[in-house]
A and B are shown apart, each in its own frame.
Chain A
Amino acid sequence: MSDATRQLIENLNALAAGLFLLTAFGIVAMRQARGCLMLFIAQSLLLAVSAALLGLRFDSGHLYGVALVNLISKPIIVPWLLRRVAPAELYTRREVDQVLNIPTALLIALALAIGAYFLGIPLAKAVGPSSVGPNVPIGIAGLLLGAFTLTVRREALPLLIGLLAMENGAFLAGISIAHDLSMLVELAIATDGLIIVFIVGVLVRAVAKQVGTTAVGELASLREAAARNTERAA
C-alpha cells in the first residue's frame, strides 16, 4: 500500500469518526424519539465504515468482520426487534421537558468531548503506532456522551439508544487499539446488544401497560424520604 493511499484511508477514517462524534451530540439533543433511533443507525453505519477502513489499512479480516456485524445487527435487526417487542407509541414520543434544557445539555456534552480528547490522546500514544486517527478520543467521547444521554433523558427509546451508543463508543475506540480480538467475542458482543434491546423492550412494554407511560425516567416512587437527599447527591 502506497503512502498516499494510506493517507487517504486515514483521512476518510478521520472523517467517519468526526461524523460519529456529531451523531453522538445529536443523540443528546434530539427531541423526537424516532430521530434518536435514526441518529443511532447513522452512528452504527459510521462505526462500520471506520472498521472497514481500518481493516483496509491494517489488512485485517477481523475488522471487516466487525464492520459486517455492525452493518447487519444495528441498522437492521435492532429496529426490527424494537418493532416486535416494544409498544408502538415508543416512536411517536417527543420529549418536551428534559432534565436539562438542550443548550445546557449540549454545552456539558461539549465539555465532556473536550475532556475525552485529553483522556484519549495519551491512551492512544501509550498503545503505540497501531492506533491511528482520532478513534480513541472520539470513542471515549461517544462513551461519555452516551452515559450523559442516560442521565438527561427520560423517554425509554432515547435511554435505550444512550446505552447502545455507549457500546458504539467503546467499540469505535476498541477497533483502533484492539484489532485482533477474537471473532467469537465480537459476535457475542453483537448478540449481547440485541438481548439488551429485547429485554429493555419487554420492560418498556410492561411499564407502558402497568403505569401508562413510556417516560420511564420519571418513575421515582422507590425512595426513603430521608434517603432521597443522599441518593440524589450520590
Chain B
Amino acid sequence: MSVLIILLVPLVAAALAGIPARRPWASGVTVVACLIVLALAARAAWIVAAGGSVTAALGPAWANWVAVDGLSALILVLVALIATTAGIFSVGYLAHESLARAKLRLYHANYNLFVFSMLAIPLIAEPTLVWIVVELTTLASALLVSFENTREALEAAWKYVVLSLMGAGFALFGFLVLFAAMHAAGGGTYTWTGLVAAAPRMPPLLVQTAFLLILIGLGTKVGLVPMHTWLPDAHSQAPSPVCALLSGIETTSILYVILRLFPVMQAVPGAHAETWALVLGLISVGTAAFLLLQVHDYKRLFAFSTVEHMGVILTAVGLGASAHYGAMQQIVSHAVTKSFCFFAAGATLLAVGTRDIAAVRGLIRRAPAAGAALVLGGLGITGAPPLAVFLSEFAILKAGISQGHYVGAGLLALFIVIAFFGVMLHVNRMVFGAPENGAAEPEPSGPHGANGSRLPISCALALILAAVPVLVLGVYIPPPLRALLAQAAAALAR
C-alpha cells in the first residue's frame, strides 16, 4: 500500500470539512481523518521499526521523492498522534454556540490542511519540496493562529507569518546553494540520502553556507533564540488545540529538517555543525529558562518552555553521537508532554476565562480537573521524575557527561533546573494559591466563559489520552519505539 495515502486522508478531510452541514459534521470529519492517519502512520512506523521499508509504490520516479526511514517515521507518527488528540480536544473546545458555523468549518478545513503539511515534511525526501511544505505549514496555520480574531491574535498571526516567511527566504537560498553544491560534486539525485552520499565530494564552502542559511532560516520557525520573538505570541494566542500542534510537533518537525543536514555536514572537513548546535541550543535553553520566570500569561509560559525544549534537543544533538538517542527520546517526550500542557491550559481557560496568571488562584478548588492537569503538565514538562521528559533529559545529561562535555552538560542541567522553578512557581500559585486579599474571583468573560467549570467530555477524553504517554514513557519504553528511536538516532550520523 502506498504511504502517500497518509497525505491523501487529511486533504480529503479538509475538503469534506468545508461542506455546510450541522455542527458536529466538521469536527467529526477531523477526528475520523486523524484516527485513520494515526493508524496508517503507526503501521508505517511499525514496519520501519521492524526493519522493513515503506515506499510510495508508484514507480521509480516517485522513489526519489518519497522515503521513510527511522527518523521520518518517528516524526510522522508523532504528528499523527498529536493531531489526533488535538482533534478530539478541538471538538469540545469549540463547542460553544457563539461560534458561527462557517467559522467552525474554516477551522476544521484549515486544521486538516495544517496536519497535511506537517505529515508531508517527514514523508518527502526532496529538500526543495520539503521547503515548500514547510512554507505550507506556516500558511495553513496562519489563519488558525488568528482564529480568535482579536487584536492580539491578529498581531500574533502577523508576526508569525512575516518572521517565518522571512526565515524561509534564507532557507530557500540555502537549499538552492545545497543543490549547487551537489551539482558541483558531480550530480546525483537531490534527496536527503543523495546528499549524504555526495557530501564528501561537495565544495565545503557551499555546504557550510547552505547549512548556516538553513539553520538560521528554519531555526526562526523552530523558535531558536534569538529568532524566537514571534513564538510566545503565536503559541499563546492560537486556540489551545492549535497551540498543542504548533508547540508540540510543528516546531519539532521543522527541527527535523535541520537535523537532516547533520550527516551531510559530518562529511565536510572543518564544518563544526555540532558546535553550532551546541552553542545555539544552550543559548536557547538559557534565555528561555530566564524568560520563563517573568511571564504573566500561562499559555506564554508553555510557549517559552517550547523554546527551552527546542534548545535541549539541539544541545543534545550537539553533544555527540551518544546523546543522539536521548535527543530522539526528547523529541517524543516533548511532543506528548507539551501537547498535554496546552490541553491543560485550554481546560483552564475554559474554566476561568482568562489567560492571566495573576487572576487565577486556587484552581484546584474551582476546576479540579483543569487544576490537576495543569500540575501534571507543569511537572511533566519541567522534567520531574518519573515522567517522560525526566527520562529523556536524564539520558541526554548522562551521555553529555560520559562524553566529557562537562561544561555543556552542566549548563544544560542548570538551565533545566531554573526552568523547573520558573514553571512550577507559576503553576503552583495558580493551582494551590489562595486568592489575594481584596481580589474578587474574576468573572468568566469572553467566548470561553460560557462553560463555567464543567469540562466538555471530548476535552476530558483528550486530556486522559494525552496523559497516558506522559506517564507511561517515563517508566517504560515499548521495544518497537525503542527500535525506532535507535534507528532515528542512527540517521543523525553517517
Contact = CB atoms under 8 A, between A and B. Distances in A.
Contacts of A131: 180
Given A130-B183, A203-B142, A230-B291, A222 B162 contact: no
Contacts of B180: 127, 131, 177-178
Contacts of A105: none
A206 B183 CA distance: 45
A7 B132 CA distance: 36
A177 B129 contact: no
B129 A185 contact: yes
A139 B132 CA distance: 20
Nearest to B187: A180
Contacts of B154: 203, 206-207, 210-211, 219
B180 to A, nearest CB: 4
B165 interface: yes
A196 B139 contact: yes
A143 B173 contact: yes
Interface string A171-203: 001100110111011001100100110011011
A113 interface: no
A196 B136 CA distance: 9
A166 B139 contact: no
B243 to A, nearest CB: 14
B151 A211 contact: yes
Contacts of B177: 123, 177
A221 B151 contact: yes
Interface string A195-234: 1100110110011001100001001111010110011001
Contact of A203 (B157, B183, B225): B157
B279 interface: no
A140 interface: yes
A210 B287 CA distance: 34
A140 B295 contact: no
A163 interface: yes
A185 B126 contact: yes
B158 A203 contact: yes
Nearest to B207: A126
Contacts of A174: 172-173, 176
A127 B294 contact: no
A123 B152 contact: no
B132 A188 contact: yes
B162 A173 contact: no
A122 interface: yes
B229 interface: yes
A147 interface: yes
A128 interface: yes
Nearest to A234: B226
Among B132, B169, B228: residue with most chain A CB under 10 A: B169
Given A199-B143, A199-B161, A206-B154, A126 B203 contact: yes
A126 B233 CA distance: 41
A3 to B, nearest CB: 24
Contact of A127 (B184, B237, B291, B295): B184
B465 interface: no
Contact of B172 (A170, A202, A221): A170
Contact of B162 (A143, A150, A184, A192): A150
Nearest to B182: A178
B151 A219 contact: yes
Contacts of A166: 165-166, 169-170
A55 interface: no
Given A126-B203, A221-B151, A170 B129 contact: no
Interface of B: 126, 128-129, 132, 135-136, 139, 142-143, 146, 149-152, 154-159, 161-162, 165-166, 169-170, 172-173, 176-177, 179-181, 183-184, 203, 205-206, 209, 225-226, 228-229, 233, 237, 287, 291, 294-297, 300
17 contacts: A122-B205, A126-B181, A140-B173, A166-B165, A170-B172, A170-B173, A173-B173, A173-B176, A178-B179, A181-B179, A192-B135, A195-B135, A199-B143, A207-B154, A226-B294, A227-B295, A234-B228
Given A123-B177, A234-B228, 5 more contacts: A139-B173, A174-B173, A195-B139, A219-B151, A234-B225
